[in-house]
Amino acid sequence: MSASKTVFVLVHGGWHNRSAWNRVTPLLEAGGFEAMTLDLPGAGVHATAPASLDRVPFDPVAFATEPSPSAGVTQDQRTQAVVALVKEAASRGRVVLVGHSAGGMTISAVAEQVPTLLHAVVYLAGFMVPTGMTLLEMLRHETLSSALAPRLFVGNPAIIGATRIHPGSTDHAYRSLLKASFYHDVPEADFTHAASQLHCDESNAGALAPSAVTQGRFGTVPRHYIRCTQDCAIPLAGQDHMMAAMDAAIGGKTTPHTLESSHSPFLSQPAALARILAGIPSLARRGTPAQQVPT
C-alpha cells in the first residue's frame, strides 16, 4: 500500500447509482487521487423496476401497491459490497470513504466493520445516526420536519416493502417537487438526465436497520460532514443535529465543511465538492478525534 496515495470510495444515496459521481471522479483523478464507485445492491444495474411502472396505460393504483422486487435487499448486503470495495482500495492507498444522503447509513456500518482500513469517513449531507437509531427515526426528528423528499413517496412502504418514488412521472407538480427536493440549483437539462438515472424503490431494510456504531471501532475513524446549506431533502438543521448527536454519543468531534448548495452538489458544484474532498486527507489523523477547522 502506498502511504502517500489517497483512494476515495464514493457511495451514492437513495434512488441514485454510481453515475451520481461522474462529474466528481475526474476532478479527483486530475488532482492525483484515485476514485472508486459502485452500484449498491438494489441500485443502478442491480435495480429491478416494478412491472406496473411500464404498464400502458399507466395504472397509479397498481404502481402504489405492487410489492417491490427490491424488498429483499438488506443493509448487510450493501455494507458487505462496500467493505469489499474498501478492501480493494486499501491495497492501493489510504482510503477516504464518502457517503451521500442515505449512503451515510452504509458508510457508518462499514466504518464499524473495518475501521483500520479507513483514513476518514465523509458524510455528504448524509444520515449520520447514533447507535440504536434508524434512518426512519432520524427522519422523523423535528429538525428534519421541513424535508420535501417524504412528499415524493408513493404508496405504503409496509405493503410495498420499499420506499417508492416515481422519477419518470410526467405530472408537472410531482416533477417540480422532485427537482425542489434534490436538484433545485441544477440546470433543467441536468435535472432531466439525473431523474432518468433514478430507480423507483429503496428497500425498507436500509431505513429500518438500527445503527450499530461503537466508540471503540467507528469512533476511531476521523469523521467529516459536508453541510449543504440549501438542502431541501435533509435540511441543514437536521444535518447539524446529526453531527451534534453523533459527537455526544460517540465522542470526538465531527469536522464540518460547508457548501452553499442543494442536496446534490456533485451535479451543481462538482469542482467545489472535489476541492473539499481533496483537502480532507491532510486533515484526518487516525487515533485522535477530528478537530473542527474552518471551511
Q: Could you report the per-residue pLDDT of 12-55, keeping only the tens digit for each?
A: 999 999 999 999 999 999 999 999 999 999 999 999 999 999 99
**Distance between CA 288 and CA 269 in Å, rounded?**
31
Does a structural domain hold residue 198?
A: yes
Does 99 score more than 60 pLDDT? yes
Q: How many domains does the chain have?
A: 1
> Which one, of 63, 62, 40, 92, lies nearest residue 202 by Cα?
40
Residue 239 lies in a domain: yes
In a domain, 294, yes or no: no
- Put simply, whether the predicted model's pTM sits higher than 0.85 gets the answer yes
Q: What is the mean pLDDT of the chain?
A: 94
pLDDT at 286: 47
**pLDDT value at residue 293:** 30
Report yes or no on 249 lying in a domain: yes
Do the beta carbons of residue 24 and residue 277 sit within 8 Å? yes
**Domain ranges, residue 273:** 2-283
Residue 235 — pLDDT band, cuts 50, 70, 90? very high
Q: Is the Cα dihedral 283, 287, 288, 292 positive or negative?
A: positive
Predicted confidence band of residue 283 (pLDDT cuts 50, 70, 90) = confident
Pairing of strands 118-124, 93-100: parallel
125 within some domain: yes
Nearest to 245 by CA among 160, 152, 141: 141
Give the angle subtended at the CA of 100 by the CAs of 27 and 208, to the nearest 5°: 160
Task: Using the predicted structure, report yes or no on whether residue 92 has a pLDDT greater than 60.
Answer: yes
Task: State the average pLDDT over residues 83-90.
Answer: 98
Q: Which whole-number Å values give the CA distances from 166 to 156, 233, 265, in the listed order? A: 14, 16, 22
The pLDDT score that the predictor gives to residue 1 is 42
The pLDDT, as a whole number, for residue 74 is 97
Question: Could you tell me which residue, 60 or 288, shows the higher pLDDT?
Answer: 60
CATH number at residue 63: 3.40.50.1820
Q: What is the pLDDT of residue 255?
A: 97
Q: Evaluate if residue 287 carries a pLDDT over 70.
A: no
**For the chain, percent of residues with pLDDT exceeding 70:** 95
- Res. 291: pLDDT tops 60: no
List the beta bridge partners of residue 150. none
Any domain includes 288: no
Residue 163, in any domain of the structure: yes
Residue 3: pLDDT over 90:
no
Task: Kindly report whether the peptide bond that precedes residue 57 is cis, defined as omega within 30 degrees of 0.
Answer: yes
Whether the predicted pLDDT of 5 surpasses 80: yes
The distance from CA 164 to its chain's CA centroid, rounded to whole angstroms, is 17
List pLDDT tens digits, range 169-211: 999 999 999 999 999 999 999 999 999 999 999 999 889 999 9
In a domain, 289, yes or no: no
Residue with cell 480532507: 280
pLDDT in tens, 255-277: 999 999 999 999 999 999 999 99
